[in-house]
Amino acid sequence: MRLVTWNVNSIKQRLPRVLAMIRRHEPDVICLQETKVEDQLFPTMELVAAGYECAMFGQRAYNGVALLSRVGLKDVRYGFDGDPIPGQARVVSAQTGDLRVVCIYVVNGQAVGTPAYGTKLAWLDAFRVWMAATFDPADPLVICGDVNIAPDDRDVWDPVLWRGSILASEPERAAVRALEAWGLTDLGRAAAGDVPGPFTFWDYTAGAFHKGWGLRIDLALGTAPVADRLESVMVDRDERKPTYGEGKPSDHAPLIVTLL
């Protein structure tokens, strides 16, 4: 079983690269974030032609998530009970194969101390409460998505520069730990050990990718039955290269998780 999670920053702009990624990695399940499109304009035909059933939860211009599977989707749920900002499309989940997959796009938060930052922390808490009330950590479940948090200093390119700032602040990191405490393992960190990264995001500005200024903010968090099946986790960094593939890159690269 192979899963990919990828913040595509507009599925309309990124469709050729998504189709090429599918040919390269042949994932069973794909979690997309920042699709930025209403459901009726989602490229369902092209992805069905590629072999995937599609559950999309989108909106115009902002946010938007989608869950694609070539092993079937059952019990699809759109959003979550208790969402403090229910007008924003950020979570879609379903049963696929033997897994419950929860595709999430966490609030960015803009900057520490802003209203958006408060919304981010409130959203993360409400999401955790819903998860705990709805699912059982003894079951095979994985949360995949753009979490917009680098869990610790190994997940930022310059820990001193990033200390305390948005995406790396202690309250954000505590929110990830609270999710893990419910019964989830950070599969990317489990695979990498103490090696920094692997980064999944490089800012578009300042030549960040070329300079290695990356962050690991796209995560796959699995319950114990999933963590026990972990074979490998890798990042397809080629997808972040401007010269690779068709059209411009997203600012995120796909995270590929393979389970036994």
Partner DNA sequence: ATGTCACTTTACAAGTGA
Using the minimum distance from each CB to DNA, give the nearer residue, 80 or 202: 202
21 binds DNA per the rule CB under 7 A: no
Distance between CA atoms of 14 and 29, rounded to whole angstroms? Answer: 17
The answer to whether 1 touches 258, Cβ cutoff 8 Å, is yes
CB of 30 to DNA, least distance (A): 18
CB of 143 to DNA, least distance (A): 18
CB of 248 to DNA, least distance (A): 4
Which of 208, 233, 235, 255 is the binder for DNA (CB under 7 A)? 208
The answer to whether 169 touches 151, Cβ cutoff 8 Å, is no
Report the run of H or E that residue 131 belongs to, with start and end: helix 115-134
Distance between CA atoms of 220 and 142, rounded to whole angstroms? Answer: 7
User: Which positions from 87 to 116 touch DNA by CB under 7 A, shown as an x/- string?
Assistant: --------------------xx-x-----x
Distance between CA atoms of 29 and 54, rounded to whole angstroms? Answer: 10
User: Which positions from 59 to 78 touch DNA by CB under 7 A, shown as an x/- string?
Assistant: -xxx----------------
Distance between CA atoms of 255 and 57, rounded to whole angstroms? Answer: 21
> How would you classify the pairing of strands 141-146 and 218-222?
antiparallel
Residue 196: count of CB within 10 angstroms of its CB: 15
Give the range of 30-38, 66-74, 93-101, 175-183 binding DNA by CB under 7 A: 30-38
Judged by CB under 7 A, how many residues of this single chain contact DNA?
26
Q: Scanning the structure block, which residue is given the tokens 């998504």?
A: 18
Using the minimum distance from each CB to DNA, give the nearer residue, 96 or 199: 199
Q: Which residues of this protein are in contact with DNA, per CB under 7 A?
A: 9-10, 12-13, 34, 36-37, 60-62, 107-108, 110, 116, 203-208, 210-211, 213, 242, 247-248
